[in-house]
Amino acid sequence: MEKENCDKNEEYRPSVIEPKWQKFWEETKSHRAADDSEKPKFYNLDMFPYPSGAGLHVGHFKGYAANDVVARQKRMAGFDVLHPMGWDAFGLPAENYAIKTGIQPEISTNKNIENIKRQMKMAGLSYDWSREINTTDPEYYKWTQWIFLKLFERGLAYESELPINWCPKCLTGLANEEVVGGNCERCGAPVGKKNLRQWVLKITAYADRLLEDLAGLDWPDRIVEMQRNWIGKSEGAEVKFKIKGLEEEINVFTTRPDTLFGCTYIVLAPEHPLVEKLKDKIANRAAVESYVKAAKQKMDLERISDVKDKTGVRFEGITAINPVNGREISVWAADYVLMNYGTGAVMAVPSHDCRDFDFAKKYNLEIIEVIRPESGPAELPYEGGGALVNSGQFDGLDWEEAKSKIIEWLKGRGSARKTVHYKLRDWVFSRQRYWGEPIPLIHCDKCGTVPVPEDQLPLRLPQVEKYQPTGTGESPLAAIADWVNTVCPKCGGAAKRETNTMPQWAGSSWYYLRFLDPANGKELVSKNKEKYWMPVDLYVGGAEHAVLHLLYARFWHKVLFDIGAVSTKEPFQKLRNIGIVLAEDGQKMSKSKGNVVSPDDIVKEFGADTLRVYELFMGPFDQAIAWSTDSVRGSRKFLGRVWHLVLECADNKKSGDEILRKVHKLNQKISGDIEQLKFNTAIAAFMEFLNFAESEKKNVGKDALKRLILLLAPFAPHICEELWRNLGNPESVFAQPWPMADQNLLKEDTIEIIVQINGKMRDKISISADAGEQEAIAIAKDTETIKKWLDRSQIKKTIFVSGRLINFVV
């Protein structure tokens, strides 16, 4: 591979050098991770893709390219790097395609995988392909099924027959996490309710740990916040209200026991069991029954939304007693109270709760102020804090203190206790579709539900003739008699297999573990390899998984921790989200809008290194940014200039002092920027350096060029490998140690400059006194303040006044 003579006039031709070096890296196995190295380990993981028929679009590559820079740089910096890739291949699109064409999902999936793998290789992504996994491979899903059996053994998988979310288009049940704004996360159809026998995972048993362990993670705040809210821990109390003249009591859940003196009525969820029990005592029974029937048809989201008019029905002839003051209050059913939260019953305080207030106004119910802020009586409803008023012996007490005082007092009289409730619900885990992992259970009339013995795993997904979902709540598997009918592993009698399949989230809930030991036929992952590699040091992917994949995987990981299969409490130590790539018009890229940019076209025209450099340069990694083919040309030009600079200056002996100082400064900056995932400022710094070097060509020596190539290699691997060899080096550039900057050469002055948006000052940044335009602009775009201002807007013009200001016109 060595070059004898280097021709100064040779053109930069990515289409020639890129395939050449890709072949070389593959043949020399240079991206393989070792399981037993003396080096420190670094596990950097990309969220593995669904192998869609459309292939990858440029948005996928933004994250992959970024994480690939980290992988390549860490290898050079002396780490044993695990950077694997695989396929999350179960799911509806392949199945829908099978329904349409009759082609087996397996066949179409494999074809898609081949295509995407080709795209990834074409981009020079340095995955260790020897560890490739596919969630639909029986040798893989054997372990997905094994984990299910462990959950089942521990009572964490149970059968239930409650009404669940049902997508009328996908014809399958859905988990709460898959219902987004009332619609199916997959197809967007409005989700309904259906009573269905199903398998449910007890994620609620882990609610506290899922919440507490968030604290130790280096994750984006907004994802942590979303998980926290989804788990929704509320500390409060249950308070008992007696029903006048009857045995029954109403148990309410409240987070505001301090407002008990302001409770003027009680509201039950329409599905509350007391409604049925009190039926005969309710004077207006017919009216109540018809209200309840109508409410049961509605979706939760519709019921609790604040905009809609509250409705309800009063139970004539029934009253409850407020335990704090003995007052008789009315009892209602209203659909703004949900059965599946708290106790399904609410003590209504219209003075301090908006929903109760609206309801009380509508039905003319009493409103008593009981919390008063320091500034005097507030306009009602007032939801803030203050001192108690109209609250008997508790008057004057601060509300926070009153919460526990009132509960203690009621507790002594047997009518209250402290409790905690969660918004998190158990995970509805069965799907009535074909293309998923079979649930390894057998139903026997005599023995009940019996697990498939571990040594019979994998329980293979049989081939069917019809992939159509039946819509009856049974999966297509139910129609295959010779698969369904089996013998009971316990008693040997005739029995039937469970025909539901697992949701698309199953395989991805543990895949990061299989990369550590992909061919292990005896264990999910060997103990040694797990200990060596876990946790994932850097996980890169889209933010859309905030409460789906990322919550499910954490839950399974904790179960695996409890059974001793893994040694860390959490799977993903550091997480970073990629901002999406919008189309040139600022809209979401989509086939129907015809604005999708294909990485194949970009690589064909400009080369993979240009695609990488452009995507890294287009803006802060975590921000949504619009594509611009014009700027792609800019990145291509930049690489061409690097090419010519190296060829032209290759024979210069020594660098001038200023070049030397600048290249060490560049070194310092690039090391720091990669660490902080600030790829855009890194590329800008390369551009600045290049500008300077081109103006001083005779002072650019081989030492500076070598350093420049080493630094640029993780970003633009192919061109750097070629140039490195051109300088007469026999070994791969990636076999070189990551260079360290000479601290003595780094001393420099900094200046402060103003950043404006449309002429208004929004921030100040401190930059190196000799930073040029590109670098200054990149740094400005990357501050938290400016990021917020620029989010999703198009920059029309950028004005740079050296040493003073930058103005973005949007």
Site residues, ligand ANZ (CB under 6 A): 234, 253-256, 259, 269, 337-338, 341-342, 344, 346-347, 349, 352-353
> Which strand (E) or helix (H) includes residue 416?
strand 416-421
Residue 151: contacted member of Zn ion, ligand ANZ, none (CB under 5 to 8 Å, by partner type): none
Nearer to Zn ion, 494 or 809 (CB): 494
Nearer to Zn ion, 338 or 447 (CB): 447
Closest separation between CB of residue 165 and ligand ANZ, Å? 18
For residue 347 the two structure tokens come to 């003590």
Q: Are 618 and 684 in contact, with CB atoms under 8 Å apart?
A: no
> Which strand (E) or helix (H) includes residue 417?
strand 416-421
Closest separation between CB of residue 552 and ligand ANZ, Å? 23
Strand, coil or helix: 766: strand
Closest separation between CB of residue 376 and ligand ANZ, Å? 19
Residue 727: contacted member of Zn ion, ligand ANZ, none (CB under 5 to 8 Å, by partner type): none
Which residues, numbered 400-459, are part of the site for Zn ion (CB under 5 A)? 444, 446-447
Signed CA dihedral, 799, 805, 806, 809: sign only: negative
Nearer to ligand ANZ, 338 or 795 (CB): 338
Strands (E), 570-721: 575-577, 581-582, 625-626
Task: Count CB atoms within 10 A of the CB of residue 191.
Answer: 28
Residue 447: contacted member of Zn ion, ligand ANZ, none (CB under 5 to 8 Å, by partner type): Zn ion
Closest separation between CB of residue 332 and ligand ANZ, Å? 13
Closest separation between CB of residue 232 and ligand ANZ, Å? 7
Task: Count CB atoms within 10 A of the CB of residue 248.
Answer: 13
Nearer to ligand ANZ, 298 or 788 (CB): 298
Closest separation between CB of residue 545 and ligand ANZ, Å? 24
Nearer to ligand ANZ, 338 or 464 (CB): 338
Can you name the residues that pair with 240 across neighbouring β-strands? 251
CA dihedral 273, 279, 280, 281 (to 10 degrees): 90
Compute the distance between CA of residue 525 and CA of residue 518 in angstroms, rounded to an integer.
8
Closest separation between CB of residue 489 and Zn ion, Å? 8
User: Tell me, what amino acid is at 323?
Assistant: P
Reference 133, options 518, 539, 492; nearest CA is: 518
Compute the distance between CA of residue 762 and CA of residue 766 in angstroms, rounded to an integer.
14
Residue 692: contacted member of ligand ANZ, Zn ion, none (CB under 5 to 8 Å, by partner type): none
Closest separation between CB of residue 247 and ligand ANZ, Å? 23
Number of helices (H), then strands (E), in the chain? 25, 33
Closest separation between CB of residue 45 and Zn ion, Å? 42
Reference 146, options 587, 456, 433, 400; nearest CA is: 456
Nearer to Zn ion, 52 or 449 (CB): 449
Percentages of the chain per state (helix, strand, coil), in multiples of 5: 40, 20, 40
Residue 490: contacted member of Zn ion, ligand ANZ, none (CB under 5 to 8 Å, by partner type): Zn ion
Binding residues for Zn ion, total number by CB under 5 A: 7
Residue 342: contacted member of Zn ion, ligand ANZ, none (CB under 5 to 8 Å, by partner type): ligand ANZ
For residue 485 the two structure tokens come to 């009918």
Residue 266: contacted member of ligand ANZ, Zn ion, none (CB under 5 to 8 Å, by partner type): none
Which residues, numbered 539-558, are part of the site for Zn ion (CB under 5 A)? none
Compute the distance between CA of residue 714 and CA of residue 730 in angstroms, rounded to an integer.
19
Angle made by CA atoms 578, 580, 582, in degrees to the nearest 5: 155
Q: Which phi-psi region, left, alpha or beta, contains residue 266 (left: φ > 0; alpha: ψ -120 to 50)?
A: beta
Nearer to Zn ion, 28 or 485 (CB): 485
Nearer to Zn ion, 488 or 611 (CB): 488
Residue 349: contacted member of Zn ion, ligand ANZ, none (CB under 5 to 8 Å, by partner type): ligand ANZ
Residue 116: contacted member of Zn ion, ligand ANZ, none (CB under 5 to 8 Å, by partner type): none
Residue 517: contacted member of Zn ion, ligand ANZ, none (CB under 5 to 8 Å, by partner type): none
What 3 state SS string does 711-731 have?
HHCCCCHHHHHHHHHHCCCCC
Q: Are 807 and 759 in contact, with CB atoms under 8 Å apart?
A: yes
Closest separation between CB of residue 453 and Zn ion, Å? 13
Nearer to ligand ANZ, 338 or 624 (CB): 338
Closest separation between CB of residue 324 and ligand ANZ, Å? 12
Closest separation between CB of residue 357 and ligand ANZ, Å? 9
User: Tell me, what amino acid is at 519?
Assistant: A
Nearer to ligand ANZ, 342 or 607 (CB): 342
Residue 353: contacted member of ligand ANZ, Zn ion, none (CB under 5 to 8 Å, by partner type): ligand ANZ
Closest separation between CB of residue 530 and ligand ANZ, Å? 38
Nearer to Zn ion, 274 or 444 (CB): 444
Nearer to Zn ion, 488 or 713 (CB): 488
Residue 444: contacted member of Zn ion, ligand ANZ, none (CB under 5 to 8 Å, by partner type): Zn ion
Residue 201: contacted member of Zn ion, ligand ANZ, none (CB under 5 to 8 Å, by partner type): none
Contacts 24+ apart (CB under 8 A), 485-491: 486/442, 488/442, 488/444, 488/446, 488/447, 488/450, 489/442, 489/450, 489/451, 489/452, 489/453, 489/456, 490/444, 490/447, 490/450, 491/444, 491/446, 491/447
Compute the distance between CA of residue 41 and CA of residue 511 in angstroms, rounded to an integer.
19
Closest separation between CB of residue 326 and ligand ANZ, Å? 19
Residue 255: contacted member of ligand ANZ, Zn ion, none (CB under 5 to 8 Å, by partner type): ligand ANZ
Closest separation between CB of residue 322 and ligand ANZ, Å? 12
Closest separation between CB of residue 492 and Zn ion, Å? 7
Token pair 């060899």 is found at 725
Nearer to ligand ANZ, 349 or 538 (CB): 349
Angle made by CA atoms 670, 676, 680, in degrees to the nearest 5: 60
Strands (E), 22-113: 41-46, 80-82, 86-87
Compute the distance between CA of residue 752 and CA of residue 803 in angstroms, rounded to an integer.
8
Q: Which phi-psi region, left, alpha or beta, contains residue 433 (left: φ > 0; alpha: ψ -120 to 50)?
A: beta
Residue 488: contacted member of ligand ANZ, Zn ion, none (CB under 5 to 8 Å, by partner type): Zn ion
Nearer to ligand ANZ, 80 or 369 (CB): 369
Residue 352: contacted member of Zn ion, ligand ANZ, none (CB under 5 to 8 Å, by partner type): ligand ANZ
Nearer to ligand ANZ, 338 or 447 (CB): 338
User: Tell me, what amino acid is at 418?
Assistant: K
Nearer to ligand ANZ, 366 or 752 (CB): 366
Compute the distance between CA of residue 632 and CA of residue 649 in angstroms, rounded to an integer.
26
Which residues, numbered 467-526, are part of the site for Zn ion (CB under 5 A)? 488, 490-491, 493
Residues that bind Zn ion (CB under 5 A): 444, 446-447, 488, 490-491, 493
